[in-house]
C-alpha cells in the first residue's frame, strides 16, 4: 500500500466516524439501553401502597405526602424523595434508582448510604417486586417532584442539588 493510499484510508475512516457522530448514532450499545424503553401507565395510589409494603418508608420520606412510620434506627438514613428539583427526574432515572441504586449514587458524597465497596445499601428489589409494583411505584414518586428554575448556578448530582456560594 502506498503512502497516498494509507492517507486516503485514514481520511476515509475519520470521515466515516465524523458522519456517524454527526448523525447521532452511538457506537456504544450500552449507551443505547434506554432507547425504545417504555412501560405502561402506573397507578400512583397503588404505588403508595407498594412504597409502604416494601418498607421504602424506613429509609425514605416523600415530599408532599404524610410522613410514614419507620423504626427509630432508620432515622439517620432518611433520604428525601420528591420536592423541588432543578432537573426533571425522568422515568428511566427513577426506575434505575430503584432497581440499580448503585448506578446513581456518589460514594464520595453519600458515604452513609454506601457499603465498604461503595455500593448502595439499598436492598436489591429485582427479585422482590413485580413489574407492576415497579411501574406503580415510579408513577407514585413522579407525582411528588416539582421542577423549578434555579436563580443561582447549581451543581447537579443524583440525590439533590448543591448551590454554589
Specify whether the CB–CB gap between 89 and 146 falls below 8 A: no
Residue 153 placed within a domain: yes
pLDDT at 165: 45
pLDDT at 111: 78
Residue 126 placed within a domain: yes
Q: How far apart are CA 136 and CA 40, in angstroms?
A: 10
- Rounded to the nearest integer, the mean pLDDT of the chain is 76
Confidence band for 31, pLDDT divided at 50, 70 and 90: low
Does the pLDDT at position 164 exceed 60?
no
pTM of the model: 0.66
Residue 30 placed within a domain: no
pLDDT at 25: 47
Residues in the chain: 165
Task: Give the tens place of pLDDT for each residue, 74-123.
Answer: 777 777 888 887 676 778 888 888 988 888 777 777 677 888 888 888 88
Range in 31-40, 55-64, 73-82, 156-165 with the lowest mean pLDDT: 156-165
pLDDT at 7: 64
142, containing H or E segment:
helix 131-142
Task: Give the tens place of pLDDT for each residue, 138-153.
Answer: 999 988 888 777 676 6
136, containing H or E segment:
helix 131-142
Domain count, the chain: 1
- As given in the structure block, the three cell numbers for residue 107 are 460514594
Residue 16 placed within a domain: no
Task: List the CATH number of the domain containing 86.
Answer: 1.10.760.10
Residue 88 placed within a domain: yes
Domain that holds residue 62: 39-160
Specify whether the CB–CB gap between 149 and 156 falls below 8 A: no
Q: How far apart are CA 69 and CA 65, in angstroms?
A: 12
- What is the mean predicted confidence (pLDDT) over 27-35? 53
pLDDT at 156: 56
Burial 1-19 (b: 16+ CB within 10 A, else e): eeeeeeeeeeeeeeeeeee
Residue 92 placed within a domain: yes
Residue 138 placed within a domain: yes
Residue 109 placed within a domain: yes
Q: How far apart are CA 123 and CA 102, in angstroms?
A: 10
Specify whether the CB–CB gap between 103 and 118 falls below 8 A: no
Amino acid at each position: 500500500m502506498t503512502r497516498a493510499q494509507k492517507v486516503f484510508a485514514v481520511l476515509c475512516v475519520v470521515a466515516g466516524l465524523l458522519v456517524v457522530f454527526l448523525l447521532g448514532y452511538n457506537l456504544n450499545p450500552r449507551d443505547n439501553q434506554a432507547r425504545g424503553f417504555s412501560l405502561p401507565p402506573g397507578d400512583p395510589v397503588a404505588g403508595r401502597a407498594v412504597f409502604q409494603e416494601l418498607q421504602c418508608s424506613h429509609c425514605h420520606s416523600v415530599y408532599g405526602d404524610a410522613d410514614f412510620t419507620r423504626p427509630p434506627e432508620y432515622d439517620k438514613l432518611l433520604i428525601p424523595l420528591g420536592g423541588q428539583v432543578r432537573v426533571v427526574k425522568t422515568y428511566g432515572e427513577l426506575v434505575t434508582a430503584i432497581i440499580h441504586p448503585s448506578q446513581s449514587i456518589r460514594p464520595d458524597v453519600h458515604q452513609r448510604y454506601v457499603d465498604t465497596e461503595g455500593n448502595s445499601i439499598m436492598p436489591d428489589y429485582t427479585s422482590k417486586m413485580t413489574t407492576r409494583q415497579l411501574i406503580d411505584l415510579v408513577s407514585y414518586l413522579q407525582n411528588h417532584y416539582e421542577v423549578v428554575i434555579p436563580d443561582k448556578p447549581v451543581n447537579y448530582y443524583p440525590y439533590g442539588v448543591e448551590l454554589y456560594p
